[in-house]
Amino acid sequence: MNIAVIFAGGVGRRMHTKDLPKQFLEVYGKPVIIHTLEKFENHSEIDAIVIACVKDWIPHMNSLLAKYHITKVKSVVMGGATGQESIYNGLMAAKAIAYEKAVVLIHDGVRPFITEKLISDNIASVKKHGSAITTTKVTETILVVNEDALIEEVPERSNSRLAKAPQSFYLDDIMAAHEKARAENRNDFIDSCTLMQHYGAKLHLVDGPIENIKVTTPQDIFTMRSVFEANEILKMQEQIG
């Protein structure tokens, strides 16, 4: 069983929108989170979707699911105070519906440019290696700096990656790591990759498209529109032939 765990628990402070969380902003005709959900909804290997959502916006989320005919969503649960808590709540919802050993693909609700191939590659990697951390290759120089903003290290670009999403695991494995963190009162892991590495997991990388951005700032909205427009132009060129 393959379950997408989508966390949409943020309120978008960096987006500077007072009234509407960033995942519900409409871009190119649909809310950002609907663009994301449709990728999983339309993928033949995805059996179910669960969503961890901002508590006060759960009714709105449910209304969007009905409006856009997202039928694979089996549960919308309350998000947590942190991303880690939101993911845990989503994993618990996944555990409640898993009828066999399950692969979970943990994904940001505001990361809409995943592809069918990337989802398939994540599932295949978990079945072969036990994990899949979506990355992209670094195209610019990375600097490691200290508290005084002085350069301490310049890592080799060929050995550097940007961690993105989905981040995928067997449900039992990621749940075990979360339970360890909760037992230690650790609630500061920035993502599932960091959490799993901390508890000794060997993580396998899956390269994804560079346009697989996380929509976090107003500038990202412009980038998102540009990607949609570029994709439309490519489709028209392919049709012309």
- 114-156 pLDDT per residue, tens: 999 999 999 999 999 999 999 999 989 999 999 999 999 999 9
CA 132-164-199 angle, 5° bins = 55
pLDDT-based confidence at residue 9 (cuts at 50, 70, 90):
low
Instruction: Give the C-alpha separation, 118 to 193, whole Å.
Output: 17
Q: In this structure, what token pair is assigned to residue 203?
A: 């993580």
Amino acid of residue 228: F
Are 65 and 41 within 8 A, CB to CB?
no
The pLDDT assigned to 28 comes to: 84
pLDDT score recorded for residue 18: 56
Asked if the model's pLDDT at residue 41 lies above 70, the reply is: yes
Which tokens hold the place of 79? 């998000």
Mean pLDDT of 183-203: 96
What is the reported pLDDT for 10? Answer: 60
Secondary structure (H, E, C), 127-172: HHHCEEEEEEECCCCCCEECCCCCEEECCCHHHCEEEEEEEEEEHH
Kindly tell me if the per-residue pLDDT of 73 is higher than 80. yes
Q: Between 186 and 231, where is the model more confident?
A: 186
User: Residues 6 or more apart from 204 whose CB is under 8 A from it?
Assistant: 125, 128, 129, 130, 131, 132, 133
Asked if 83 and 7 count as a contact pair (C-beta separation under 8 A), the reply is yes
CATH no. of 2-131+165-194+210-240: 3.90.550.10
Pick from 112, 89, 109: which is nearest to 21 by CA?
Answer: 109
d(CA 147, CA 74): 45
Whole-number average pLDDT of the chain:
92
Sequence spans of domains, the chain:
2-131+165-194+210-240
Question: What is the C-alpha separation between 37 and 108, in angstroms, rounded?
Answer: 10
Q: In whole angstroms, what is the distance from residue 61 CA to residue 173 CA?
A: 29
pLDDT at 234: 78
